Structures are given as structure tokens and as C-alpha cells.
A and B are shown apart, each in its own frame.
Chain A
Amino acid sequence: MKQVHTLDRVVIRFAGDSGDGMQLTGDRFTADSAVFGNDISTLPNFPAEIRAPAGTLPGVSSFQLHFANYDIMTPGDRPDVLVAMNPAALKANIADLPRGGVIIVDTADFTKRNLAKVGYDTNPLEDGSLTDYQLHSLDLTGMTVEAVKQFGLSRKDASRAKNMFALGLLSWLYHRPTEGTLNFLSRKFATKPDIRDANITAFKTGYAFGETTEVFAVTYEVAPAPMPAGQYRQISGNLALAYGLITGARKAGLPLFLGSYPITPASDVLHELSKHKRFGVTTFQAEDEIAGVGAALGASFAGHLGVTTTSGPGVALKAETIGLAVMTELPLLICDVQRAGPSTGMPTKTEQADLLQVMFGRNGESPVPVIAAQSPADCFDTAIEATRIAIKYRTPVILLSDGYIANGAEPWPVPDLSAIATIDPDFAVEPNGTDKAGKDVFYPYRRDAETLARPWAIPGTAGLQHRIGGIEKARDTGAVSYDPANHEEMVRTRQAKVDGIVRDIPDLVVDDPDGARVLVLGWGSTYGPITAAVRRVRKGGRAVAQTHLRHLNPFPANLGEILRSYDRVIVPEMNLGQLSMMLRAKYLVDVHSYSRVRGLPISLSELAHDLESEIDQLEGVRA
């Protein structure tokens, strides 16, 4: 009987060649851990190249998983365990592993040639350079090929099951349930029995190898995390976004029309929605980004919920059409799954640097509501809220996600859809005024007194024929107008309409149990790292307050008051201080920008350390 150690949390990183199936391996370990009841947080990290040259550093793909017996906020800064499937994976990731960490290496690819390819002069498994780590050198490939010999696959095909061998071994090492992965493999390879059986056998053999080998003296248990009662699943941000869009449209009783063009890291939303046409979803893969949003706007004009999904470069291309939606005052959702820029930037890496683009990247005074999701599961709620605002206020709405939460996953209490409020599209069906002669007429730009929204009259509605477009509109009639006073009124009215959405935005709540002097304020996907860093700072005995913005335009009504009630406000962002600039401009508060642009989530330990320094410095100033 082997010794069992109990841990409260573990971070594992699976790393290999981009064809080695590391994302799948990570996904499965995540799913099994989630079903087991751990809290989880994941960070897939893959190259933009689909298949970079085998065995090279640019070709390394990794998947980091953090699982714990308490609620965790991030995928972890540094792994405790590194699974490296080749020399490149070891080389690319070893620097992140703290001394004493566990390395499990597949030795099969550690040939002289492969070592030289990544710049190793000597074999690190043998030259003593890894003595500070718990190194387990195993011929995973060889054992896999041997185990699946019976299925008569080529060596190449047989060796491809090595990721499942590794997964089996890790599943044993961490006491993971196995039914989920076995069922998954049966489903995935249902039509290829040889491949299915080879993968299942590799997985089981890896598990059995752990049990029988003397290599691992200790196994580890991580107990389930306490969570509120209910039904859970794990979900990634892009999946939650797709489900939120479908649910939002259903709650509004509208067909959903997605006009989109493939772009990393947003394409999975297009893929997902394309699978669900039965829920009244039309997906249109357009010839370009502009046509994607154009068709979506056309569909909105026709009475559908028009949606477009993209990333930063696509938003740039769509800007003029978003402006048209501002002018025509039609509901439209623009989902920007941000990635590192500028230009093509780093498509598979995360960033939050599109905030100013979506706020101001259009000609003229062109106000658009902006809301941001803070975690993978939160993309669901954010999509429904964006739908609600777009329909109620007849406006394009920009939803910000990013590559980190789009691809990352977390446990999610499955929502009860019947508990979600319906959204009334409130189509215009009859004239809303009379002309000078007293005849009933339709005024397409006569506004609701409270929301300032104009009526949405869709084709097929008799008597409400009207023309809209990008040229300035006369108030009420919507006719073309170059009248100076009318233009000023319309510019201010469009702004007032968007500003007025603040009435539907809940006041911002600050988490401040200890009466802190320092407030950390974030937005979007930095929620996880910030929350984890704040916890660590508090654990260390310092007081710090935290709050997080979902609504970036308009801001919640009490934001200014909150900013002014702290001695120091620190704003961590994965950009050069874009929210900071907006806060300074609007509230004249000297917020401190904390800025990281590495294409990776902000490091919680670094942030915690820096917050502690700021707090200590402030306390020192007072003393």
C-alpha cells in the first residue's frame, strides 16, 4: 500500500508538441477533477501555428490546470507538476517550475538530434541539471506502443495514444475518477474501434503502471471543494458566451442571427452556435469581418437578434458598421474576444487592450454601451445582459471577453433558465403620432420618454414603412436633416440614451472587510488574479479593498464616490492603463495603473507582492 498525502491544491502543467494532444489531455483531467468536486481553473497555452515543426520550441503547446479543495481564482502562477512529452516541452517550461517540483518526462524523444534542436548540449535528464527537482524519466511512448500492440496500429498511430497513457498515470497519482475519460473516448472514437481501443488501453495501462511501479512512492489526494448545493458542470468562456447568446435570444423570443468571420480566439463561438440551429439560430460565415457585422445589422433591421463575434482586428474593421448601428439605433451585439495586439499581435495570447478601441474607435460622437465578462462562466450572464440592454435601448452593445477566459474553464452551477427574466422586444405595431392634418403616422425616431429608445418597427408591419440610414436624422421623423440645432440635439440625445442605461446598472459593491485605505479595482478577466492576490494580501495581515467593474460604459452611478473614498486606488489591467485613463478623465481621481502586457494573465503572486508594497508605502507615509 502506497503512502497517500493530502493536499489542498495542485497545479499541473501538461506540455508537449502541438500535435501531442496536450489540450485534450488537460481538458480530460479538468473534466474528471470537476466531476470529482474540486474547484478548477485552467490556462490553455498554445502556439498560433497549427503544426509548427515537430520538436521545436515554437511548437510547444501546454495546458495548465489548478485544482483545489477550496474556491480558487486562477490557474496558478507556477506549476507544482510538469509533464513534458519531449525536450522542447521541458526546455520551454522548466523555468516556471519551482525548485523541488515534480517533473514527469517522456524519454522517447530525448535523442541527440532532438536535444540539439532545442539547444541542449547534453541530456538534461542525465547531466545532473535537474537534481533540484523530483524527476521521473519514463519511456511513456515505448510503454504505450507496447501496450497497444494487439491493435495492429502503425508505430506512429500507436504512439499517438501516449497522451492517454500519461493521463492514466496522472489520474492514478491524483486519485482521479476514470469513468468520464473512458466514456469520452468511447464516444469520440465510436466510428474508429481500433483507435478507441488503443486509447482506452493506453489510459488504463498508464493507470496500472502507476499502481505497480516503484517509481512513485506517494500518491496525492485533493478533497472536493465545498460549493453551494446544486448541479454543476465545467464550462469555458466561449461556450458560456454561445449559450448565453442562445438563451438571451430565446428569452426575447427572437431568432438569433450570427454574422461572423473566423478569427482567433473567437471562432469557437461561431462553431458552437452553428451546432444549435434548432434553437432558431442562423449562422452566416461571411466573406469578411465587415460583411459579418453588416449581415447581422440587416438581420436586426428585419427583426432578429443580430450578433457578430470577433477579436480586436475584426472590431477595427467593423467600426463603421457599428457606427451605422448607433445612428440607426438598432439592437446589435458585438462580442470582442480580445487578444494581444496591435495588428495581428499574438493571436493565441490574451490581453485587455481593446477597451479604448471599443469605447472610442469610431468616427463622430458614437456612444456604445460596453460590458465585460470577468470569468469563463460569467460570459453566460454577460451575454444575456448585453442582449437585454441592446433590445431595451435599441443600441449596439459591445461585450468584451478575452483569450484567457474564452479558453479557460471553471465549474459552473447550471442555471435554471426558467428563472431568467424574459426580454420584451416590444416591436412597434401601430402609428405613434399624428401629422399636421391629424392623420395617424409613424415617427421612427419618436422616443420613449424614459429610456429614449426609438420604436423598432420591422418589415412586414403595415403602415410603419420607414427609411433609416447613416445620415443624420431629424428628430421624430427620421428624415435626412442637416439642421445644426437638430444635429446637436440628436448627438446629445444619443449620448443621453446610453448614459441613461446607468439606471439599469446596479451600484458597484466594494469588498472591504477591514476598512482598507487601498482599493484594487479591475475589470474583465483580471477578476481571478486580483481576487486571489487580495486574499493573499489579507492573509498576510494587511487591509485591502476590492471591487470589479462589469459595466465600462456607462459606469455604475456610485463609482466616483467609491474612488474618492480611498487613499489609493490601484487598477490592474492587461494593457498600458486604459481603464485608468477613463477613470482619471471622468472622475479626476489619481488612480494608480498597474499594467502588464505579456500575453498572459496577471501573476497573482507578483500582484500580491506589489500590492503589499503599495500598502506598506502608504502606511509609511502616514506614519
Chain B
Amino acid sequence: MTAVDQSRQTNNGGGHELRSGLAGVPLSLEPLTRKDFTSDQEVRWCPGCGDYAVLAAFQGFMPELGIKKENTVIVSGIGCSSRFPYYVDSYGMHSIHGRATAIATGVATAREDVGVFVITGDGDALSIGGNHLIHALRRNVNLTILLFNNRIYGLTKGQYSPTSEVGKITKSTPMGSLDNPFNPVSLALGAEATFVARTIDSDRKHLTEVLRAAAAHRGASFVEIYQNCPIFNDGAFDVIKDKETSADAIIPLRHGEPIIFGVDGRLGVVRDPNSGEFGVAEVAEVGVEALVVHDAHRPDPTYAFGLSRLTASGMLNQSPIGVFRDVAAPAYDDLSRAQVSTAAAQNSDDDALQALIAGNDTWNVS
């Protein structure tokens, strides 16, 4: 029995046969629990680090996938979050800075029967590993990529990162950082990633929902997780986490529903018919019918990219969360394996190899 049984039926833009992200991965014969995904290693993040919450949600969610834990591989790069694989009792590699997506591409392409997760951070994935990330996304390799975005370099003790806001005062930028940050979701959509989502470390329910959708997606699933670093960037997400302010700051995206948020649903997302740009309006002023109805399955990424621009680029005071884009497209690793198996259907035995090596132009010396 394999996880192909878990294929879901959802609307999709591409018209491709839908396979679950975990199709081909063997299912566990016995039900697993959180404990099964807990290794013997002591977890060593700073007290209050958001990584604890993500790890707990991940360990809690993995049993529900039903796949064998020995058929799970977690690859990480370098950074605080990249310690993650040590704490999960699966196969894992804590690799080198920025290269996790490249290494995971090799694992995923080599083995259809393995579910591959990538754990990375804003420095790891967007700075030193930016190239590998965008190429894994454009290829649509069947990986679930969890990017822990704390908007700071934690492990190297507090330099600004490629997601830090302009003017960030850090040890390496005492007069303020100068460069414009990446919006990770915009970047992923620019690379035409087929599944792009954002969630928050402290919202266990939402985090789990997003992980579930990401794992079910076949191809590259990119999940940005807002994660607080209590030591070097504490409070970076306070506005969207604080109960007082979060209602007006978080824009929840739910497929098929109007994008409405704010205290008592007073705000909504509208789209300018001329420019195509998105904005926030008072529902009382524009009416519910004027609000954008979220469609994560649009084949063209333009719409999702537009939505991603609603995230403030400076201090974070407003941001959409949820699944921006979820479209079906062929996965690179499936296509690669199909080429090999199609080719292998030709004569590929030892005699065929002997004939290949001899070639067409031989001569005999007697």
C-alpha cells in the first residue's frame, strides 16, 4: 500500500492528472504517533524560539500523513532552523549553507518512494541559497520546503538578513541596512512555484492546515513561516501576532471565499480593474460584492503575485496568510524518472551494455 491512496481531488488549472505529493511513498502499517517522529536528541534552541512551535506542529502532523517514517527524508541547510532534522526520527541530512534544496533535489529525483522535506531559513534559502531555491521551484521538484523567516541571522548572532526591513540596525549595519528586502512569497511566485503559502509559527492550527496542503501538493511546495527570534529580532511579528492588532493585520486567504478580514470583518481586499493592483478597502464603503474572491488555482501566477504585494515591506503591519497558489503541473522528478524508465524498456541488459561499449566501428586483430 502506498500513499497514492491519498490522492485528493481538487480543482486545478492545468488539467494534469493529480497525484498526491506523497504518491508512491509506502504507508505505515501501524498508526504512528508524535513520539514516532521524535528522535533521541535534546532540542537545543533558545528559550521562546518559534522553532519549537514549528517542530511540535510538524511532529504532530506527520503521523496523519500515514507514511512510513523510514521513507521520510528531511534535508536542511545551515542556520538555527536547520538543526530541525536532528529532532525528527526519520532519515535526515543537516547539510551546508544554502544547498539543502539542491541536495534534496537529488534525493527526490533518485527516489519516488521517499517524502522529502526541506528546512531552511531566510538567510539560507534567500541569500546564499537563493539560486538553488528558485531553480527547485521553477523545476517543480516534489519537495515540501519550509522557510523559517525570522528576518535576521540568528546563528551568526544577529546580522540583518535578506528579509530584514530597510534601515535595520544590527551588528553589521550600525547605521542601518541599505538594501531592499525580499518578499519570499513574491520571489517564489516570480519563479512560478506551483504551491506557495504563508503561515505563522504561533498559529498551530493554521500552520498544520498549510503543512497538510503543502504535503498533498505534488511538485515544489513553498511555505514561508513567520518565526520569531526572541534573541536577535524579538517582536518582528508582534503586530500580526498581538491579539489587539492581529485582526486588522492578518489577511487570511481561503480558496473560493471573499478575502475579508479585520475587526468584525470590516476590511476586505479589492482589485483595481485598471491597474490590476490589489488594495485594502472598508467593506462598508465598497460592499462585499466588490471584494476579491480568492482563487488559488489560477494557472497564471500574476494574480497570486499581486496578492503577495499586500505584505508591507518595512515593519510588518499587514500580511496575507494561507495558500496563495496551488496549481497542478508535472513534477521534475516524476518526469526524470519517467525518461529513465521509458528508456530502460529498451534493451538494457548486460549484452546491450557490452554492445554499446563496443560501438559500431570495431575491427579485429587476430
| A231, A321, A469: the one within 8 Å of B362 (CB) | A231
Residues of B within 8 A of A418 (CB): 350, 354
Q: How far is the CB of B66 from chain A (nearest CB, A)?
A: 15
Residues of B within 8 A of A281 (CB): 340
**A256 and B134 alpha carbons, distance in the complex (Å):** 26
Most chain B Cβ neighbours within 10 Å, of A233, A243, A291, A303: A291
29 contacts between A and B (CB under 8 A): A35-B361, A35-B363, A37-B365, A230-B365, A231-B363, A233-B358, A233-B361, A233-B363, A246-B356, A257-B106, A281-B340, A282-B110, A286-B135, A294-B105, A294-B132, A295-B102, A298-B93, A298-B107, A299-B106, A301-B107, A416-B354, A459-B73, A460-B70, A460-B111, A463-B70, A466-B91, A467-B39, A467-B41, A479-B86
Q: Which of A449-464 contact B (CB under 8 A)?
A: 458-464
A36's nearest neighbour on chain B, judged by CB, is: B363
| A231, A286, A471: the one within 8 Å of B364 (CB) | A231
Q: How far is the CB of A181 from chain B (nearest CB, A)?
A: 10
| B85, B109, B352, B361: the one within 8 Å of A284 (CB) | B109
- Does B110 contact A298, Cβ atoms closer than 8 Å? yes
Decide yes or no: A306 and B106 within 8 Å by CB, A232-B365, A280-B340, A417-B354 being known contacts.
yes
Residues of A within 8 A of B180 (CB): none
B337's nearest neighbour on chain A, judged by CB, is: A282
| A288, A295, A306, A467: the one within 8 Å of B92 (CB) | A467
A290 in contact (CB, < 8 A): yes
Q: How far is the CB of A400 from chain B (nearest CB, A)?
A: 22
| B39, B70, B86, B336: the one within 8 Å of A461 (CB) | B70
Which of B265-273, B300-308, B314-322, B341-349 makes up part of the contact surface? B341-349
Decide yes or no: A247 and B111 within 8 Å by CB, A468-B93, A469-B94 being known contacts.
no
Produce 1/0 per residue, A326-349, CB < 8 A to B.
Answer: 001000000000000000000000
B96 in contact (CB, < 8 A): yes
- Does B96 contact A302, Cβ atoms closer than 8 Å? no
A167 in contact (CB, < 8 A): no
**A471 and B99 alpha carbons, distance in the complex (Å):** 15
- Does A321 contact B361, Cβ atoms closer than 8 Å? no
- Does B106 contact A233, Cβ atoms closer than 8 Å? no
| B92, B95, B113, B356: the one within 8 Å of A276 (CB) | B356
Produce 1/0 per residue, A432-474, CB < 8 A to B.
Answer: 0000000000000000000000000011111111111111000
Q: How far is the CB of B366 from chain A (nearest CB, A)?
A: 5
- Does A459 contact B363, Cβ atoms closer than 8 Å? no
- Does A301 contact B93, Cβ atoms closer than 8 Å? yes
Residues of A within 8 A of B337 (CB): 282
A520 in contact (CB, < 8 A): no
Q: How far is the CB of A478 from chain B (nearest CB, A)?
A: 10
B364's nearest neighbour on chain A, judged by CB, is: A231
- Does B110 contact A303, Cβ atoms closer than 8 Å? yes
Chain A residues packing against B (C-beta within 8 Å): 31, 34-37, 180, 224, 227-235, 243, 246-247, 250, 255, 257, 259, 276-282, 284, 286-288, 290-291, 294-304, 306, 320-321, 323-324, 328, 414-418, 458-471, 479-480
- Does A321 contact B99, Cβ atoms closer than 8 Å? yes
A418's nearest neighbour on chain B, judged by CB, is: B350
**A140 and B132 alpha carbons, distance in the complex (Å):** 52
Residues of B within 8 A of A37 (CB): 363, 365
Q: How far is the CB of B40 from chain A (nearest CB, A)?
A: 8
- Does A243 contact B94, Cβ atoms closer than 8 Å? no
Most chain A Cβ neighbours within 10 Å, of B85, B102, B359: B102
- Does B69 contact A227, Cβ atoms closer than 8 Å? no
- Does A321 contact B114, Cβ atoms closer than 8 Å? no
Q: How far is the CB of B142 from chain A (nearest CB, A)?
A: 13
- Does B92 contact A291, Cβ atoms closer than 8 Å? no
B341's nearest neighbour on chain A, judged by CB, is: A277
| A34-B363, A469-B93 known, 12 other contacts, Cβ within 8 Å | A231-B364, A250-B353, A277-B342, A278-B352, A284-B109, A287-B131, A298-B106, A321-B99, A465-B90, A467-B92, A469-B76, A469-B85
**A479 and B87 alpha carbons, distance in the complex (Å):** 11
Residues of A within 8 A of B109 (CB): 257, 282, 284, 295, 299
Residues of A within 8 A of B239 (CB): none
Residues of B within 8 A of A232 (CB): 362-365
B68 in contact (CB, < 8 A): yes
Interface size class of B (residues with CB under 8 A): 35 or more
Decide yes or no: A321 and B110 within 8 Å by CB, A298-B75, A417-B357, A467-B39 being known contacts.
no
Decide yes or no: A277 and B339 within 8 Å by CB, A282-B110, A467-B39 being known contacts.
yes
Q: How far is the CB of B131 from chain A (nearest CB, A)?
A: 6
B71 in contact (CB, < 8 A): yes
B189 in contact (CB, < 8 A): no
B293 in contact (CB, < 8 A): no
B169 in contact (CB, < 8 A): no
Residues of A within 8 A of B72 (CB): 459
- Does A286 contact B102, Cβ atoms closer than 8 Å? yes
**A35 and B107 alpha carbons, distance in the complex (Å):** 44
B251 in contact (CB, < 8 A): no
**A286 and B365 alpha carbons, distance in the complex (Å):** 43
Q: How far is the CB of A226 from chain B (nearest CB, A)?
A: 8
- Does A287 contact B135, Cβ atoms closer than 8 Å? yes
B104 in contact (CB, < 8 A): yes
**A315 and B115 alpha carbons, distance in the complex (Å):** 30
Q: How far is the CB of B119 from chain A (nearest CB, A)?
A: 12
8 closest cross-chain pairs (CB), A and B: A298-B106, A469-B94, A294-B102, A295-B106, A277-B343, A291-B102, A278-B343, A298-B103
**A320 and B102 alpha carbons, distance in the complex (Å):** 13
Decide yes or no: A417 and B103 within 8 Å by CB, A278-B346, A462-B68, A470-B95 being known contacts.
no
- Does B95 contact A459, Cβ atoms closer than 8 Å? no
| A229, A279, A324: the one within 8 Å of B95 (CB) | A324
A228's nearest neighbour on chain B, judged by CB, is: B365
B165 in contact (CB, < 8 A): no
Residues of A within 8 A of B76 (CB): 469
Produce 1/0 per residue, B59-79, CB < 8 A to A.
Answer: 000000000111111011010
Residues of A within 8 A of B353 (CB): 246-247, 250, 279, 417
B25's nearest neighbour on chain A, judged by CB, is: A460
A467's nearest neighbour on chain B, judged by CB, is: B92
Q: How far is the CB of B23 from chain A (nearest CB, A)?
A: 15
Residues of B within 8 A of A243 (CB): 356-357
**A300 and B95 alpha carbons, distance in the complex (Å):** 14
Q: How far is the CB of A135 from chain B (nearest CB, A)?
A: 34
- Does A470 contact B340, Cβ atoms closer than 8 Å? no
**A161 and B48 alpha carbons, distance in the complex (Å):** 76
**A324 and B105 alpha carbons, distance in the complex (Å):** 16
Produce 1/0 per residue, B27-58, CB < 8 A to A.
Answer: 00000000000010100000000000000000
- Does A471 contact B94, Cβ atoms closer than 8 Å? yes
- Does B348 contact A302, Cβ atoms closer than 8 Å? no
Decide yes or no: A467 and B106 within 8 Å by CB, A34-B363, A302-B114, A417-B357 being known contacts.
no
**A295 and B354 alpha carbons, distance in the complex (Å):** 29
